Amino acid sequence: MTQAANPFYHTPIFRLAGDRGLLMELGNVIDPAINARILYLTGRLSEVLPSGVEEIIPTYCAVILIYDPITTDPETLIPRLTALNKELNDQPLTAPCIVELPVCYHPDLGFDLAYVAKIHDLTPEEVVEIHTAPLYPIYMIGFTPGFPYLGGLSERLHTPRLSSPRTHVPAGSVGIANNQTGIYPIASPGGWQVIGQCPVKLFDPHREDPILLSSGSLLKFNAISLDEFRALKEENL
């Protein structure tokens, strides 16, 4: 049996990110093992922020530290990050939590569902079945407040972006772009193929924690009817 290639760099790569940022990159591919390590590093660093560090930002395969250059510098931070990464080499990772979200795949809400089905020689019902099957790892949050970048989309649904982005995509729209799927937390322009809508607010500035989802969790989509969507939408106004 061929052993899977190790996705990690032999040693992390450090880069400056502007005049107040330090990037630590563990690999250069989107990989669950790398992302799990990034999220674990982020959690450990967040428990006790290194002196001078103001913010920690996880990405697919790197973590960025925003620091006060008067208080600290890369020469101080790099040895600490290197030591922590080595310390975590043999640490077991905790099981991620699973978040379930309802999605209505009715054609009135999934503007591009019929197109996605057609180019893959599927029925709309088969697209929904394939899209709701996985547990999607949430690799990172970005683009707009609360937008989840998800892994695990079936190759059967890989679909190019729109050739011309829409100027307005409704909040809650569930879309596909190439090998990724995600949810628009707020109304915004966008070029993803919209196949449904979620009635739950992913971003609400009035909540104690405005952003619903978090990196490291697993996301499960559950299909609902148009009537169920309207009722839930009303509850979440």
Backbone angles phi, psi at 143, to 5 degrees: 75, -70
Confidence class for position 215, pLDDT limits 50, 70, 90: confident
Supply the DSSP symbol for 101: E
Domain boundaries 98-235, corresponding CATH code: 2.40.100.10
CATH architecture group of domain 13-87: 2-Layer Sandwich (3.30)
Backbone angles phi, psi at 145, to 5 degrees: -55, 115
Rounded CA-CA distance 95/97 in Å is 7
Q: Is 128 exposed, middle or buried (0-12, 13-18, 19+ CB in 10 A)?
A: buried
Task: Give me the amino acid identity at 147.
Answer: F
In this predicted structure, what is the pLDDT of residue 94? Answer: 63
Q: What is the mean pLDDT of the chain?
A: 91
For 64-113, write each residue's pLDDT tens digit: 999 999 999 999 999 999 988 888 776 666 667 899 999 999 999 999 99
In this predicted structure, what is the pLDDT of residue 3? Answer: 43
Rounded CA-CA distance 207/195 in Å is 27
The arithmetic mean of pLDDT across residues 4-32, rounded, is 87
Residues of the chain with CATH 3.30.1360.40: 13-87
Residues of the chain with CATH 2.40.100.10: 98-235
Percentage helix, strand, coil for the chain under 3-state DSSP, each rounded to 5: 25, 30, 45
For 32-62, write each residue's pLDDT tens digit: 888 888 888 888 888 888 899 999 988 888 9
Q: Which of 14-28, 75-89, 155-169 has the lowest mean pLDDT?
A: 75-89
